[in-house]
Amino acid sequence: MVVSIRKHRRGFLRTIACIAVALAISTGARAETITDLAGRKVDIPAHVHRIVLGEGRLIYALAPLEKKHLFDRIVGWQGEFREADAQSYDRYVAAFPAAAKVALIGKTTADTVSPEKVLDLRPDLAILSISGHGPGASSELVAQLESAHVPVVFVDFRAHPLDDTVPSMRILGQALDRRAEAEAYIAFYQSHLDRIRNRVANLPPASRPTVFLEMLAGTREACCHTAGKGNMGAFIEAAGGRNIAAPLLPGYIGDIALEQVIASDPDIYIVDGTKGPAFKGLAVHMGAEVDEAMARASVQAVLQRPGISTLRAVRDGHAYGLWHSFYDSPYNILAVEVMAKWFHPDLFGDVDPQATKAELYSRFLPVPDSGTYWVDARP
């Protein structure tokens, strides 16, 4: 009889222990405390099951980490992804039908994001960007999530991409418990970036061409939207060029007058965009679903605008087109490599950005490689 009571007691205690473990997991037992890119200490749950993205294009960063499980845990995102990069969105929906069912927490700007919608999704992690189209650190969304004890992690690929891509990927690896995947991507990224930086390190200023990059060329009423110190301007400097907009802008993105561009008469002119085959207006067609001929024709069209067509770089065949979304993506290493080839073809004769892109897709991305992401204006 005593033995039977002891057995029942041990079984009861084991049941209580299992219930305690289950409750700890379901209530978000802390796995670790990490420091995000905003310098905030964030307690990450042991098991993250429901993720909200402050910007839809953060999917670029999650893809190398989650791979075939990319949409297993995403329950909400902002709607700018399907607007800013419609072709990539379509490809992800084709590969992951669940992507079309992810709840929208807002449209294309931070002021459209509804904290109530986010909280209704019962997230156990929110991933936001320090800069960009989504809610920032001082937003009402962050305050409400913190009041609800939902951890918020900040990363960034936009303001200072070449400084912040590696730490941001590492933070995401920690938060999502994808450390090995994050370190593999970081090793790939850093090795390609170091190769470029090491070769241009000792180039004298006179050997660095002057460069102007017009962002979203043709889609704005007037030229010229561009990057200064940071953002795509950092790609220009890393690739061994001199960004003529850097001393003219107070921030990392802004506008300068066409007259200033004409007066500077840069050695190299780059235009970027993300429009797809269905778009009929003047713009740079680039990215998924765009073939090389369409991309080149669109670049040639925007280069024929008054003032732009007279630039020495355009006349001499030193004008190029680029995918705009490199400006906010951990795939920015491709932009650095292709710029290095454009700026210093002899120095980087052995560098093959197409091979780097093929490696990116084959090793890290769960959708097939397709489309055109850069092109010479002349064949």
Q: What is the DSSP letter of 209?
A: P
Its domain, for residue 108, covers: 32-189
Query: Which tokens belong to 257?
Result: 């007058």
Torsion sign over Cα 295, 336, 349, 184: negative
Other C-beta atoms within 10 Å of 363: how many?
12
Q: Average pLDDT for residues 170-179, to the nearest whole number?
A: 97
- Answer yes or no: is 87 within a domain: yes
Q: Average pLDDT for residues 98-112, to the nearest whole number?
A: 89
- Answer yes or no: is 15 within a domain: no
Together in a domain, 46 and 162: yes
pLDDT score of 135: 75
| pTM (predicted TM-score) | 0.90
Q: What is the pLDDT of residues 32-88, one digit of tens each?
A: 899 999 999 999 999 999 999 999 999 999 999 999 999 999 999 998 999 899 999
Domain boundary pick from 161, 189, 217: 189
- Answer yes or no: is 199 within a domain: no
pLDDT-based confidence at residue 132 (cuts at 50, 70, 90):
confident
- Answer yes or no: is 5 within a domain: no
Percent helix, percent strand, percent coil in the chain, to nearest 5 = 45, 15, 35
Together in a domain, 271 and 243: yes
- Answer yes or no: is 46 within a domain: yes
pLDDT-based confidence at residue 108 (cuts at 50, 70, 90):
confident
Q: What is the pLDDT of residues 112-122, one digit of tens each?
A: 888 999 999 99
Domain boundary pick from 164, 189, 214: 189
